[in-house]
Chain A
């Protein structure tokens, strides 16, 4: 069962994403900021990370840069969750090393296709 880490500072989003992923058979971990997210990424070794961009303190781009710069977490695929459809947001997420991005409100069937596509490369689709 694929293990997915959700990093989002909004409780409603964490609950929503968790329940939508759980009912599709994923195992879900959550963190409410980048620091907790980075810690969980190292200790719990998730198969994929959903990273909200607008996080307080350290934003999702910087957190992704750290993940991608660390040998232990470099291979974990990261999907950025952005609030806007601005091309500049998309570029920034690519530049930070995100493997894909999803614009809120999340289209779960679409997101799950992205998740499965990324997991398939590591043979971990649910």
Chain B
């Protein structure tokens, strides 16, 4: 009989301990912030042990203890003097209970608080009957990130089973803190990205007000871009070589990886080229090479060169251009650059849809322009998004950027090139229904001011 009572008691105690473990673990996992999780564990421990006072120190990134406002006071009026005296104690590594826990990274227990060498603590402890204190380390990846400290009104030594429970809970809390740190890091990253975006937009605005800085910045970008091209060229060249070699020896797995490296390097090079071009067009260093351009041939050539990219995305490119559209006197490479950008963009933001390129002469009586219309059946944009579209580095939104890659750089460049050729770009877009870009270019591009210096006929080459 005696034994069975004690068994029941043991079982009941075990059951309560399990509830405590389960409840506390669940509660700290549900916390939204690190502070929240720490506060919850203090509450649960105090409730389970009936300890009247608990609080936490956080270890700052430089490895020192930092006070927190995370306190549990069973009876605020009664225990406030203790809290005050603790908060006034100097904190240092290896000193005091929490300092020792930080140094040794293990739980510590101290009794006889009413005789503590800090008079204020001894006094406070005596008044309210506090006699001992427990402190536990909370570790993330083997380093102590927080110390939990509790005060109690008895001098009994802690039971082994309780110490084990606390150790389990502190491990759980450590994992939660680690997870919280990750999400906090992610949030910080998002904020950084957002402020970076704002900064870049500010740069665009600032450029208009400071033409000298603008020129210097653009020169810097040009030079930097060229510095980037050399190592990039090496990466591109060797990945291409290795790819060709792997293909000829039939190493399929390697081919895919090398193709990925090659694609990434190609994208990076396109970006660097875009930055160089944008900088050059803005410092008026981009040369315009006017020649007679057969519009139909130009459009057909472009359509052929784009087919592969459309097949990859199961989109269709339709080109409508009258065979008697005629010729322009302009820079064919720059038109190609603009159209390639607009069509690539349309392809990017369209899934299993149609992109149309319609080419028409401006109607009578003017008949002095060619209008290239690029229409897609893609995701479309709001008016606000359209307004921001031509700013370099702008993008419709972050998620779309991640899905489709690339930057808003290309459109800013396209607009600059269109203006360089005496034309302009307009957009019609409806969210969810697709977008149409209108590239309007005069039949005769204005003679560039710099062209006069250069009398020799200029051959044009595809860029990059």
Contact = CB atoms under 8 A, between A and B. Distances in A.
Interface of A: 10, 12-13, 16, 19-20, 23, 83-88, 90-91, 101, 103-106, 108
B230 interface: yes
B190 to A, nearest CB: 35
Contacts of A108: 240
Interface of B: 226, 229-230, 232-234, 236-238, 240-241, 244-245, 248, 269, 287, 289, 454, 456, 458-464
B287 A23 contact: no
8 tightest A-B CB contacts, nearest first? A105-B233, A16-B237, A87-B458, A12-B234, A85-B463, A105-B236, A104-B233, A87-B287
Contacts of B237: 12-13, 16, 20, 105-106
24 contacts: A10-B230, A12-B238, A13-B233, A13-B234, A16-B234, A20-B241, A83-B226, A84-B226, A85-B463, A86-B287, A87-B287, A87-B289, A87-B454, A87-B458, A88-B287, A88-B454, A91-B454, A91-B456, A103-B464, A104-B233, A105-B232, A105-B233, A105-B236, A105-B237
Contact of A104 (B229, B241, B245, B461): B229
A50 to B, nearest CB: 14
Given A87-B459, A105-B464, A16 B229 contact: no
Nearest to A95: B456
B234 A83 contact: no
A23 B234 contact: no
A87 B460 contact: yes
The winner among A13, A23, A85, A91 for most chain B CB atoms within 10 A is A85
Contacts of B226: 83-84
B458 to A, nearest CB: 4
Contacts of B459: 87, 90
A88 B287 CA distance: 9
A85 B462 CA distance: 8
B287 A16 contact: no
A101 B461 CA distance: 10
B461 A103 contact: yes
Contacts of B461: 85, 90, 101, 103
B458 A16 contact: no
Contacts of A85: 461-464
A101 B459 CA distance: 11
Contacts of A91: 454, 456, 458
The winner among B226, B229, B237 for most chain A CB atoms within 10 A is B237
A16 B236 CA distance: 10
B208 to A, nearest CB: 27
Contacts of A20: 237, 241, 244
Given A13-B233, A84-B226, 18 more contacts: A12-B234, A12-B237, A12-B238, A13-B234, A23-B248, A83-B229, A83-B230, A87-B287, A87-B289, A87-B458, A87-B460, A88-B454, A91-B454, A103-B464, A105-B232, A105-B233, A105-B236, A106-B237
A100 B197 CA distance: 43
Contacts of B245: 23
Contacts of B233: 13, 104-105
B135 to A, nearest CB: 59
B88 to A, nearest CB: 65
A10 B229 CA distance: 13
A83 B273 CA distance: 12
A23 B458 contact: no
A97 to B, nearest CB: 15
B95 to A, nearest CB: 58
Contacts of B287: 86-88
The winner among A13, A84, A88, A105 for most chain B CB atoms within 10 A is A105
A105 to B, nearest CB: 4
Nearest to B248: A23
Contacts of B460: 87
Contacts of A104: 229, 233
A14 B429 CA distance: 50
Contacts of B240: 108
A107 to B, nearest CB: 9
